[in-house]
Chain A
């Protein structure tokens, strides 16, 4: 048994005592929280031993192998519209250059920021129908509402502005360019996309 294996075996026993304080029963199904807690405790203890034992793995190596955030199971509450939309916007930031296979630009951080600013402001005072959020190949983040009586296309590029075009089923059109992202949509447009 190597020095590291022996250390792990010993620590595991010690650690089980620690988790018992949280009602962990070694014979029953271990919850994911307990598992994470046990792993984190084990990692922390190893780090301490590494620091005092010349034969133990270095602190850096141990950290790479064992440390795992206890809260890794946490996720955004996507039932909340604002968080769901922000999550969709941030997902777009993970698209790499040429994401469409035809030379598409990577979305800039500025465009992501503008999109978030726009949607946060819009949701501050309104409950709206959720838009389709998509990217165009030229770096645009686009919000598209396809509603029974209104189709509304709004986009940002990361220059602190947004522009839009919308048309109702009655043929009424709404359009504007270069609106600062810190300004909200006009009330008459919000009324058309509001739930």
Chain B
């Protein structure tokens, strides 16, 4: 089901668990789940599913509010499912404005929404604004912003 967010949704909190809406200067993290999506050290397009962009959102964590243990547990859970393949999880680091400033014919392409949950108040998501840009083109632009990868320990000592 397509998401229902609009540009206005970015300017007010969208979850009762959220500290506040995501501001332009906030640093955001995207956990990369599969080694399949890193080729020659670069994040490739399939790290982002088109369905997530259009419907349920691409999951992020807000650095200002994230708890290291939450991400650590997530990494451990994934590692246990494919221990041979997922030994070095990494996180892409970028700013909110990097994503919100992507435009197509002067139209903003992505929304960043603070859809925090009870168990993770730092949760946010990227959504493609319907009709703003062809999805594959939008994804190509988004992937360019995900190339700064770091380990969890270097991001959150």
| Chain A residues with a Cβ under 8 A of chain B | 98-102, 104, 132, 134-140, 142, 144, 146, 151, 153, 155, 163-165, 167, 173, 175, 177
Contacts and interface: CB of A to CB of B under 8 A. Distances in A.
B82 A165 contact: no
A140 B46 contact: yes
A163 B81 CA distance: 31
Contact of B49 (A98, A137, A175): A137
Interface in B44-95: 44-52, 77-79, 81-82, 86
Interface in B28-53: 33-34, 36-37, 39, 44-52
A140 B140 contact: no
Contacts of B139: 153, 165
Give the top 9 A-B pairs by smallest Cβ distance, nearest first: A101-B78, A165-B136, A138-B51, A138-B49, A136-B46, A101-B81, A100-B34, A100-B33, A136-B49
Contacts of B52: 137-138
Given A138-B52, A164-B136, A175-B136, A102 B33 contact: yes
Contacts of B134: 165, 175, 177
Contacts of A173: 137
Contacts of A167: 140
Contacts of B45: 136, 142, 144, 153
Contacts of A132: 39, 44
Interface centre among A136, A163, A177 (most CB of B within 10 A): A136
25 contacts: A99-B34, A99-B82, A100-B33, A100-B36, A101-B33, A101-B81, A101-B82, A101-B86, A134-B46, A135-B36, A135-B46, A136-B45, A136-B46, A136-B47, A138-B49, A138-B50, A138-B52, A139-B51, A140-B49, A153-B45, A163-B136, A164-B136, A165-B136, A173-B137, A175-B137
B146 to A, nearest CB: 14
Contact of A165 (B34, B81, B140): B140
Contact of B81 (A98, A134, A139): A98
Nearest to B78: A101
Contacts of B44: 132, 134, 144, 146
A193 to B, nearest CB: 16
A164 B45 CA distance: 12
A134 B81 CA distance: 19
B14 to A, nearest CB: 22
